[in-house]
A and B are shown apart, each in its own frame.
Chain A
Amino acid sequence: MKECGPAISDWMQRFRSQFRYSSAAARRVHAEIQDHLMDSVARLEQRGVEQAEAERRAVEAFGPPELIVQSFDDEGGPMVPERLARWSVPLGALLALPGVVFVISNILKYNLGAETLYDGTFGSIFDLGFGEFNALVNALVIAGPMLAVILLGVSSIEVGMKREDSAYLSTISIRLDKATIGVLAVSIIVLIAMLTYVIFEIAPCWFGGRVEC
């Protein structure tokens, strides 16, 4: 790619010094803006304009850095890094799945008398207890929904920054779509069910007071 001249370099430097958002979002915005300015210069040069003049016209047409930064602030900031936002719902659902299966299996066993998931060797997997070979599964059952709630919460938070006079005003907003709300609700319900199970079924065994465990 052709090198930027002083007009574009100076514009980009001024913009970078004022654009206070996450490095991932900033990298994308910087790349987009630089591409735009270079395209603009190329078009002007095709019409016979000298490079220096083309760059001056390009940055003038683009608008001052202060205006563009303010526009981003007004619009709530740049797009969040897409990787986390795109994968948070399916990943959250996957993390919550062991807990969901555990809760359903216990409902089937204790409320409906169906011990399908407790037959044979598969059955021991859902016996909560530490120090046994199924400790990893137990950890997934408990930690999975917790991690799902944390992951979905973090990916839903947007932090914006706005300048007012000489001070910076930070704004925090939470953006939830239906899929995120659904997986969050299921994870929280599973966590509450797990907590109830631990309090009423497991804790009495750990701390004594119950003969049969």
Chain B
Amino acid sequence: MRGEVIKGHLDLLLLAVLSDRPLHGYAVIEELRNRSGDAFDLPEGTVYPALHRLEREGAIGSKWDTSSGRRRRVYRVTAKGRRTFAVQRQEWTGFSTAVGSVLGGTA
């Protein structure tokens, strides 16, 4: 799937992945890839600017973690992020249902 298509929904995807458990950047990419069945093929590095922006907006928080023996920056969803995710997920569900109806009606 083209990167430009994913970019517009990256916030929703990142919040969805992080809503289950805190993850560091590489694990976020792995989880996105696994959950999408390798459909999402964006440059891995482009996830970090989005993560930083979400953190600046207060939707996620982060801290250094050394529990695995290496220092990694681990991201987690905040209460504000969970509210944002819930709203965006609802909007996406409505949108995809509407698009499906239109496409389903096309011969």
Contact = CB atoms under 8 A, between A and B. Distances in A.
A61 B38 CA distance: 13
B49 A71 contact: yes
Interface stretch (A29-37, A90-98, A106-114, A124-132): A29-37
Contacts of B22: none
Interface residues of A, number: 28
B72 A35 contact: yes
Contacts, number: 71
Interface stretch (A47-55, A76-84, A187-195): A76-84
Contact of B70 (A35, A61, A74, A77): A35
A197 B85 CA distance: 49
Instruction: With a 10 A CB-CB cut-off, give which of A79, A80, A175 has the most chain B CB atoms.
Output: A79
Contacts of B24: 35
Interface residues of B, number: 21
Chain B facing A: main interface SS: helix
A162 B45 CA distance: 18
A36 B26 contact: yes
A202 to B, nearest CB: 42
B46 A29 contact: no
A175 B56 contact: yes
Given A33-B48, A35-B70, A36-B25, A62 B56 contact: no
B104 interface: no
- Interface of A: prevailing SS: helix
B74 to A, nearest CB: 10
A35 B46 contact: no
Interface in B49-77: 49-50, 52-53, 55-56, 58, 62, 70-73
A63 interface: yes
Interface string B12-50: 000000000000111001000000000000011110111
B86 to A, nearest CB: 20
A75 B44 contact: no
Contacts of A36: 25-26, 29, 44-45, 48
